[in-house]
Structure 1
Amino acid sequence: MIKKFFLLHLSLLGCLTSFAQITIEDCYTKAQANYPLIKQYDLVEKTTAYNLSNANKGYLPQVTFSAKASYQSDVTKFPIDLSQLGIQDISIPTLSNDQYSATLDVNQVIWDGGTIKSQKEGMETAAEVDKKNVEVSIYALNERINQLYFGILLAEAQTQQNRLLQDELERNYNQIESYILNGIANQSDLDAVKVDLLKAKQSEVQFSNTKKAYIEVLSKLIGEELGEDTEFVKPMPVRPSTLTINRPELGLYDAQIQNLATKDREITSGLMPKLGLFATGGYGKPGLNMLKDGFEAYYVAGVRVSWNIGNFYTQKNNRKVIQNNIQSIETQRETFLFNTNLDITQKSSHIDNWVEQLKYDDEIIALRGSVKRASEVKMANGTISASDLTRDINAEQMAIRDKLLHETELLLALYNLKFATNN
């Protein structure tokens, strides 16, 4: 009983595998998740978190320890000889040539003019630029998937139609064999059909290899093994309802401009004075009392105000550089929109062309089929050769292949238009 259940389970798994389906939207999602660059998102997030954490530590007391030992060839002395003034019992102390010092400095920011805040904003906007760059690179995968996916659909359709052609040629081959027995055809007629049958089989190999190659590349892109028995769902030919451009490149330009705006605020914060507290504790020889030659502890504490006036000299030019960079990005945006609108116009024209082509395909196929059937009757009556019949059969098949190509090209054009607009 268990063995039967196990075999049934395996057969069900086999059925599920053989009837596996995938859509082009699935391929988009899987390819983005599989693309190595997607890891850059997490790296950007982690790096930004570390940088922001470091920036926040600028509000904490900054502690510096230093120690020094020195020997100097001379020390400060009073140039007065008290003995010449009749003073014998008083001597002026002098410093030792060897001196020692160990200090601990503590500085606490009270107000930094917005420097740390603007630095944090700059880190966040720079991280956003990195993310948008990743989005642009990943979005470009969709165009490659379009080419592969619809190449697979076209190869499948051509293979199916080719097999129908082979069936028809084999049927005509068998009929001509009977015509030879009845004396209304000869061996050359049979050979002509045989040549076309071999060509059809040759084409089937080509279509199969093309599909296999596309599937292998697509499998690598999405990180999932696809078999030749996988069903690639043919999407509906739906034209985008809007041609508004919503590409990730536009988000990248916005992020770049925002990042430059934070640099402008950094310039403003650099013009502000800085206010802080400081304290220094030390132990050394001499201490604060330079006239006392001995080791002692000491401390100094107070308030410090600093103002780098030199930043005013360069701030105008720095702001002009930022404005020039912003204008450069705006020019890039305008150029991108201009080129994309041209691309949209071209792709829309391609769609219109394939729609017009498809209007005539069915009628052409019907007429070619009628001519072929008439040729089959003539062949049966011995009024035309097998070469004439196979010519009409091939003409009908060419018309069918043209329709398959037009349908696939229309779908590809529609999805390329979706790629151009991201709608």
Structure 2
Amino acid sequence: MYQKIVIFCSLSLIFSIKITAQNTSILTLEDAYTKAEANYPLLLKEGLLNEVSELNSAIIKKGKLPTITLNGVGQIQSENLSIGTAGTPVNIDLPLGTYKGYIDANYNLYNGGLTKAQQQIEVAFLKMNQQKLKVSLRTLKDRVNTLFFAIKLSRQQQLLLNTSIQDINTNIEYMQVGYDNGTVLESELSKLKVRKLELQSEDIRFTGNIKAYFGVLNMLLDTTYPEVTELQLPEMGLMDYNPNISRPEQDFYDSQKDFLQAKESTINAGRKPKISLFAQGGIGYPNPVNFSDVSNATYALGGLRINWNILDWGIVEKEREKIKIQVQQTQVDKETFEFNIASQQKEFTEKITALQLQINNDTKIVALQKDILSQTQVQLQEGVINTNDYLIQVNAELSARQQLELHQVQVQQLRVNYLTLYGKL
């Protein structure tokens, strides 16, 4: 009883390990997209963009704080103010050499909303760069699609080859018996063996192709999926021949317009008055605030400053017009992009429809070729036809099945590419 329990547990463990191994050898198209994007070096730029944006925002906020500068100036001049003469009640003779060292402080009470506008620009600029990054990453989907279907087509063709090799093996065994009995010529048997070797060479070629495709795919995804990994396509259901476009390029164009409109807010802020407090204090010779004091003296002053550019000769209005035109250009670029995608809809639908009609014919051809091959195989074994006639039919039947599989994979690829083009995958 104990041995039975041990055996049962061992078998259960082996079965669970096998199931787990099988589950880990499945790669869906969506997972491949995610892994490719996560591994792509360009994705590192997103973190750098966020860091730069945070630094710029901090710099903008610091701009609201008071500014304090240390200044110094010394000069010699050929002439200076002189009041009165020696011996009179008022006699002021300012020196030709003067100097001044002081600290200057300024604090913006109101800058016309320029700080807020700069912050809006920084947010819009970051969003625009993030959308631009997504546009660059989207091309990875096309590369993954190409590799996925290259592998699937190679596998299907390889399966068809193996079926033909098995059929030829069956006839080689049968013909070998005839040759051993002296009823079949050696050349007839050799022709079958040659064709088997040719098909095996093609099988080796497909194996090499699959290995190479997986090598590129694993490099793109930073994974180690074996060549036996099952590649799963998403459930696509009924074909929607008029889907809405949902591409990152559209968001990129919108973010460009937002950025331009944010720039316009800084132009508006530049036309508003600026109000600030200022203060200055230091030491000078002679006294900078009392010209009658011809000595080294400390001093201080402060006040309120208003700055308003009331006449800009129409520069601001021209800047607004320029931004308005740039926004219109961006909208035209977006509409052109959407038009180019929508214009491919008819091409895709016609190709898919044509391939489906071909698949229907291919299916009928394959069925007929299989029947003919079965009859030919019987005729070969009965000695009614020779090996050449049989191999001609083997090649015809294999070609028909390969054509069917090719068209079936092409339809799948077209549908996936179509959904990818419209941003549905």
1:62-81 aligned at under 5 Å gives the runs 62-78=67-83, 80-81=84-85
**Cα 1:234/1:396, change in 2 over 3 Å:** farther
Distance 1:9 1:66, change over 3 A: farther
- The whole-number CA distance in structure 2 between the counterparts of 1:386 and 1:74 is 122
Partner of 1:213: 212
What CA deviation, in whole Å up to 9, does each residue of 1:185-238 have, x standing for no partner?
A: 322222221221111011111111111111111111111122223232355453
Match of 2:107 in 1: 108
Deviation of the 1:360 alpha carbon: 2.9
Change in 2 beyond 3 A, CA 1:239/1:150: farther
Find the aligned partners of 1:124 and 1:237 in 2 and give their Cα distance: 37
Do the aligned residues in 1 keep the contact of 2:76 with 2:96 (CA within 8 Å)? Answer: yes
CA distance, structure 2, for counterparts of residue 130 and residue 311 of structure 1? 33
1:245-264 mapped onto 2 (5 Å cutoff) = 245-264=245-264
2:368 alignment partner in structure 1: 367
Is the 8 Å Cα contact of residues 122 and 259 (structure 1) preserved in structure 2?
yes
Q: Distance in 2 between matches of 1:125 and 1:376?
A: 73
Unaligned runs of 5+ in 1: 1-7, 83-87
Is the Cα–Cα contact under 8 Å of residues 117 and 266 in structure 2 kept in the other structure?
yes
Tell me whether 1:328 sits opposite 2:329 in the alignment. Answer: yes
Amino acid at match of 1:205: I
Relative to 1, partners in 2 of residues 1:33 and 1:10: Cα closer, same or farther, differing over 3 Å?
farther
Note the alpha carbon deviations across 1:337-393, whole angstroms, 9 max, x for none: 111012232222222222222223332221111000111121122111111111112
Distance 1:410 1:158 in 2: 16
* Amino acid aligned to 1:168: D
Provide the secondary structure at the position in 1 that maps to 2:292: coil
- Residues 232-269 of structure 1, C-alpha deviations (whole Å, 9 max, x = no match): 23554534546110011000000001111111222111
Partner of 1:20: 25
User: Following TM superposition, by how much is the alpha carbon of 1:97 offset from its aligned partner in structure 2, in angstroms?
Assistant: 3.1
- Correspondence 1:54 to 2:46: no
Question: Is the contact made by 1:378 and 1:384 (CA closer than 8 Å) also made in structure 2?
Answer: yes
Counterpart mapping for 1:195-234 below 5 A: 195-234=194-233
Q: CA deviation at 1:75?
A: 2.5
Residue 276 of structure 1 corresponds to which residue in structure 2?
276
Deviation at 1:282, TM superposition (A): 1.8
Cα displacement (A) at 1:118: 1.1
Paired with 2:313 and 2:13, the residues of 1 have a C-alpha distance of: 79
Question: Match of 1:311, SS?
Answer: coil
Which residues in structure 2 correspond to 1:149-160 (within 5 Å)?
149-160=148-159
Q: Which runs of 5+ in 2 are unaligned?
A: 1-11
**What is aligned with 1:307?**
308
Q: Which moved more, 1:288-297 or 1:174-183?
A: 174-183
8 Å contact kept, 2:168–2:196: yes
Shift of 1:397: 1.5
Distance (whole Å) between structure 2 residues aligned to residue 248 and residue 237 of structure 1: 21
The residue type equivalent to 1:406 in the other structure is H
Q: CA separation of 1:240/1:49 partners in 2, compared to 1, >3 Å: closer, same or farther?
A: farther
Question: C-alpha offsets along residues 19-65 of structure 1, whole Å, 9 cap, x if unaligned?
Answer: 62211111000001011111111111111111111111222111111
- Decide whether aligned partners of structure 1 residues 89 and 268 sit closer, same or farther in structure 2, where only a CA change above 3 A counts: closer
| 2:397 match: secondary structure | helix
CA positional deviation for 1:422: 0.9
1:74–1:12 distance in 2 versus 1, CA, 3 Å: farther
Question: Is the Cα–Cα contact under 8 Å of residues 237 and 411 in structure 1 kept in the other structure?
Answer: no
| Structure 2 equivalent of residue 192 of structure 1 | 191
Give the conservation status (yes or no) of the 8 Å contact 1:237–1:410. no
Deviation at residue 310 of structure 1 after TM alignment: 4.8
Q: Match of 2:64, as an amino acid?
A: Y
Moved more, 180-189 or 317-326: 180-189
Give 2:285's aligned residue: 285
| Paired amino acid for 1:55 | I
Partner of 1:42: 47
Q: Deviations over 1:118-161 (max 9, x none)?
A: 11111111111110100001011101100001111111222222
CA distance in structure 1 between the aligned counterparts of 2:282 and 2:214, rounded to whole angstroms: 74
Change (3 A) 1:237 1:272: closer
* Distance across 2 between alignment mates of 1:347 and 1:146: 16
Stretch deviating more after TM superposition (10-19 or 404-413): 10-19
Farther-moved stretch of structure 1 (148-157 vs 185-194): 185-194
Task: After TM superposition, give the deviation of residue 17 of structure 1 in Å.
Answer: 5.3
Name the amino acid aligned to 2:321: K
- Do the aligned residues in 2 keep the contact of 1:280 with 1:300 (CA within 8 Å)? yes
Is 1:348–1:417's contact at 8 Å kept on the other side of the alignment? no
Give the corresponding residue for 2:145: 146
- Looking at structure 1, the residues matched to 243 and 67 of structure 2 have their Cα atoms a distance apart, in angstroms, of 56
Paired with 1:235 and 1:262, the residues of 2 have a C-alpha distance of 41
Go from structure 1 to structure 2 and tell me whether the alpha carbon gap of 1:81 and 1:94 turns closer, same or farther (over 3 Å shift).
Answer: closer
Distance 1:67 1:235 in 2: 73
Q: Which residue of 2 aligns with 1:316?
A: 317
Q: Is the 8 A contact 1:247 1:421 kept in 2?
A: yes
Equivalent-residue separation in structure 1 for 2:386 and 2:189 (angstroms)? 10
Who is 1:85 aligned against? none
How far apart, in 2, do the equivalents of 1:215 and 1:175 lie?
Answer: 39
The answer as to whether partners of 2:85 and 2:91 remain within 8 angstroms in 1 is no
Contact 1:344 1:420 in 2 (8 A): no
Give the deviation of 1:176 after TM superposition.
Answer: 1.8
Find the counterpart in structure 2 of residue 5 from structure 1: none
Greater shift in the superposed pair: 317-326 or 208-217: 317-326
Deviations 1:304-343 (A, max 9, x none): 1111235353122212221221122122112111110122
